[in-house]
Amino acid sequence: MKRKSIKLERTLPYIILTVIGVLFLLPLLWVLIASVDPNANSSIKVPTAFTVDNFKSVLTNPVNIRAFIIGLLLSLGQGLLVVLVAGLAAYPLSRYQMKYKKHFMFTILFMTSLPITAVMVPVYQLFIYMKLQDSLWGTMFFLTAAGLPYAIWMLKNFMDAVPLELEESAWIDGASVWQGLKRIVAPLMIPGICTVGIFTFSGSWGNFFVPYILIQSPEKLPASVTIYQFFGNFGMVEYGKLAAFSILYTFPAIVLYIFSQRFMSQGFSLGGASKG
């Protein structure tokens, strides 16, 4: 009797986890199967045939290609700008004791946690005043600014771990601050820079709301918004193509997640992070 209850106690978590796992998998399965089913509709079913036509037709449509390229440029541009600008800002914050540094860092942390949704209406008004609405550059700069607080905070922490002595010896050899940052500090911070860059890129790639508000011309919309237009004419849509588009659009986010996993895992120990 007792042995039986121990056995149940061992297997029960496996049963519960399997059930949760299956429940989590179900909504995803449809996208995966429908994308290769020539007769896909909204319900999940075993396809009678296998096809890559859905992917082919998404990838040969110039409108989709343009949306992917715009999304890529927007996210890459933002990622690079964020890393560069935040890296520069992190330097004095990491290297010098300054009078208002503490206040500044708290403001940064505070901004990190503000929901971006809450500022979209005033941002839209600001863009009208600055004649920046419908501008991809404007959108990129806004996304960059929105990504900065988190990036400065992270990069400052990564930079704190780079010993100052290395830079000092470069200074003695006649290097300037900028050269020291570029040649000594930056190479040692590659993991931190990658983490912040990947995080920023993924956030921007998956962002629907910001370009949806700030961009009006259909030909300037990134993939995150064009996918919604599939969606808007729901009755007319070919489910297979929509599923294929979803997979292609999700793919970069997954690849980058896998790539960044080993760096990111450090970030989840919130208890540890709050002490540093």
Q: Which of residues 130-189 bind other proteins (CB under 8 A)?
A: 141-142, 144-146, 148-149, 152, 164-165, 168, 171-172, 176-178, 181
Among 20, 63, 69, 190, binds other proteins (CB under 8 A): 20
Part of the chain binding other proteins (CB under 8 A), chosen from 12-20, 47-55, 58-66, 190-198 = 12-20
Part of the chain binding other proteins (CB under 8 A), chosen from 50-58, 61-69, 193-201, 205-213 = 205-213
Size of the site for other proteins (CB under 8 A): 97
Part of the chain binding other proteins (CB under 8 A), chosen from 46-54, 58-66, 99-107, 214-222 = 99-107
Provide, rounded to whole angstroms, the least separation between the CB of residue 274 and other proteins. 5
Provide, rounded to whole angstroms, the least separation between the CB of residue 136 and other proteins. 15
Cα(223)–Cα(242) distance, rounded to whole angstroms?
12
Mask: binding to other proteins, 69-98, rule CB under 8 A, as x and -?
----------------xx-xx-xxxxxxx-
Q: Rule CB under 8 A: say whether 123 interacts with other proteins.
A: yes
CB closer to other proteins out of 36 and 181: 181
